[in-house]
Every structure is written in C-alpha cells, then in structure tokens.
Amino acid sequence: MRKTTLITGIAGFIGSRVAELLADRGERVIGVDNLNDAYDVSLKKARIERIKRPDIDIRICDILDYEKIDDIFRQERPARVCHLAAQAGVRHSLTNPLIYQRTNVEGTLNLLEISRKYMPENFVFASSSSVYGGNEKVPFSENDNVDKPISIYAATKKATELMAHVYSSLYGLNTTALRFFTVYGPWGRPDMACYKFSTLIMSGKPIELFNNGDMFRDFTYIDDIARGVVSSLKRPFGCEVFNLGNSRMERLADFVALIEENLGRKAEKLMLPMQPGDVPRTNSDIEKAKRMLDFNPQTNIEDGIRMFCDWFKTYHSDLF
C-alpha cells in the first residue's frame, strides 16, 4: 500500500522540493503551511503552484492549531511525518525571538504530542547546523557538545531535539533530527546569502560581507538535502541526529565570485565586522549520514550556483 507522508512547511524551500521528490517516487503527500509573510508570500504560492498534482494535497493551516492538525492526522493517518515548518534563519531571531519560541518550540511540541496519539512509523524534523554555536572544532560532528547556542534560533532548534528525545524515550516514537547545513539552490529563500546577494547585485545595491568576507560555509545543494530527507523518512531509528551537509567549506568571498560570474555582473562589497549570533565557519562531518542514511551529496558549488543562477534569471527576469 502507498504510504502517506505529512510535510509541515510544504510551501517552503525545502518542504516543496521534498514533496516533489516523494510524489515522483509514487508516494502520497499531505502538506500543511500557514503561508506566513516571513518573506515574499508570492514565492511560497509559486512553489505550491509548481508542485501541484493529484498526489500532493495541500492544506493552509498553522501548526500551532492543535485541533486542525489533530483532524488531519485522524483523517489521513500519515505513516511518516516530515516536520520542516519553522521560523528559519539566525538574523531575524535577534530582533523577533518570541515568534521563534512559538513556532519552533510550541509548534514542534504540538506535532510530537499529536504524533504520540497516532504513532507514525517515523517523525523526521529539521534541526540546524546553528546548534553547533561557536564550535571551534571542524568538522562538526553529531558527538560534539551543543549546549552553547549563540542565537535564539539555535536554542529553539536544540529544544526541538531535546523534546524529540523525550517522546522517543517515553512513548517509543521514532524520531530523527536532521541538522541541515546552509541549503541553497533554485526556489531558495530570499533571506539567504545566495538569493539575497543575487537580488542586490542585479539591483545595483551593495552586498554586506561580514567578517570581511572571511567566513566559511558548508553550502549544501537543495536536491542533495531533499534526497537525504527522503532517505531518512524511510529509515526509522529509535532516536537519532544526523548532519546533512556537503562536508566542504567554501569561503564566502569565493562564493560571491561564483555568483558574479554566473550573473555576469560585479558586486559592490561592503566589508563589515562579524555579526552577533553568527558563526565564522560551518563544516559538517557526514560520515554517520553516509553510513546510516546512504546520504551522498553530489553537487559541487560550481554546478549548484550555476543551477541557482539559471533559475534566478528566469524567475526574476524583471531584474535582467
């Protein structure tokens, strides 16, 4: 029998791609999203339009609405839960911490509590590389201590991992936390470096490079992440945490040069000091995900940026 997966945050960057991948593999998807205006809602609607098909059923609904989410579980009995809805991003959490607590902590607790009633085979959810805080040791490994977050966003993600552990240990719910490392690619998030820089460059506005561009990120291409999520959904473990990254570190300044090359325009750069809450480098150790999830990222940064820019030129043809 075909299994149903419930995806929260289906109008989001990662959720929409995971939904598409599952449907491509002949699976049924129920998606929820509240289409909030954390960034341009028309982009979320366009993602929904793009993935529309009979196998993907999308409900506009808030994960904080316990009754509505409970109804969906009762009617649909999802075999797997893929919980991606969140207030995402470190910077906005500096100025708006309360919404992070509500969406990420309370929202996840709602889903865990409802999952306890219906006991899906697997509950997979998005954590983040930001839980590693200012970890000086690279690459970041799942065994490293993550008790010292440096943003509220990271603290809420760590809280979701702790709550999932409780539900696994008290009720035997299979939970898997996926710590994503800076995801980029077509249909990405406008607040993230790749998209933000491209928009600013094409609008003739300066881009801000923190720590004078001397920052390193483990940029991970969207399709690699989506394949990792799908693979994880199919592999229930009691309670696990995995890094999903590319496992290579790119210097921010080199990353900008690739965008410039693909867009055919030079950026005006503002070199600035380190931002509070930001970390100078992220780099994933993905040996555990390789071994247990068969995770195998295949997209190098050159190809990934090219594919992003090709999409950007079409979606934002008004800027060219």
Query: Which residues are known catalytic residues?
Result: 153
We find the least distance from the C-beta atom of residue 36 to ligand NAD, in angstroms, to be: 5
Do 187 and 308 form a contact (C-beta atoms < 8 A)? no
Q: What angle do helix axes 66-76 and 107-118 make, rounded to 10 degrees?
A: 30
Does the protein bind ligand NAD through residue 15 (CB under 6 A)? yes
Binding segment for ligand NAD (CB under 6 A), chosen from 28-36, 51-59, 250-258, 287-295, is: 28-36
Q: In this structure, which amino acid lies at residue 108?
A: T
Q: What phi, psi does 254 have (nearest 5°)?
A: -70, -35
Residue whose beta carbon is closest to ligand NAD: 12
Q: Is residue 33 part of the contact set for ligand NAD (CB under 6 A)?
A: yes
In the bound state with ligand NAD, the residue whose beta carbon lies nearer, of 229 and 267, is: 229
Q: Tell whether residue 122 is a contact of ligand NAD (CB under 6 A).
A: no
**Half-sphere exposure of 98 toward its Cβ, with a 13 Å CA cutoff?**
0
Q: Does 252 bind ligand NAD (CB under 6 A)?
A: no
Residue 23 makes contact with ligand NAD by CB under 6 A: no
Separation CA 48–CA 42 (nearest Å)? 10
SS3 category, 83 = strand
Q: Does 183 interact with ligand NAD (rule: CB under 6 A)?
A: yes
Verify binding: residue 13, ligand NAD, rule CB under 6 A. yes
Q: Is 9 in the site for ligand NAD (CB under 6 A)?
A: yes
Give the interface segment with ligand NAD, choosing from 82-90, 115-123, 269-277, 301-309 (CB under 6 A). Answer: 82-90
SS3 272: strand
Residues that bind ligand NAD (rule: CB under 6 A) add up to a total of 29
Whichever of 265 and 280 has its CB closer to ligand NAD, that residue is: 280
C-alpha angle 35/82/229, rounded to 5°? 110
Among 62, 161, 223, 224, binds ligand NAD (CB under 6 A): 62
Name every residue whose Cβ is closer than 8 Å to that of residue 214 and which is 6 or more positions away in sequence. Answer: 251, 252, 253, 280
Instruction: Say whether residue 228 binds ligand NAD (CB under 6 A).
Output: no
Out of 22, 86, 109, 155, the residue judged to bind ligand NAD by CB under 6 A = 86
Q: Is 85 in the site for ligand NAD (CB under 6 A)?
A: yes
Q: How far is the CB of 147 from ligand NAD (least distance, A)?
A: 19
Residue 126 in contact with ligand NAD, rule: CB under 6 A:
yes
Toward ligand NAD, which CB reaches closer, 182 or 198? 182
101 lies in the binding site for ligand NAD (CB under 6 A): no
Is 21 one of the binding residues for ligand NAD (CB under 6 A)? no
Is 182 one of the binding residues for ligand NAD (CB under 6 A)? yes
Packing angle of the helix pair 41-51, 13-24 (nearest 10 deg): 0
- Quickly tell me which residue has 């593999």 as its tokens: 25
Pairing of strands 175-180, 216-217: unpaired
- SS3 per-residue string spanning 168-191: HHHHCCCEEEEEECCEECCCCCCC
* Residue 216, both tokens: 């390193």
Only segment of 176-184, 234-242, 252-260, 286-294 that touches ligand NAD (CB under 6 A): 176-184
90, 154 Cβ separation under 8 angstroms? yes
Total Cβ atoms within 10 A of residue 30:
20
Q: If binding is defined by CB under 6 A, does position 189 make contact with ligand NAD?
A: yes
Say if CB 59 and CB 49 are below 8 A apart: no
63 binds ligand NAD (CB under 6 A): yes
Residue ranges binding ligand NAD (CB under 6 A): 8-9, 11-15, 32-36, 38, 44, 62-64, 84-86, 88, 103, 107, 126, 128, 180, 182-183, 189
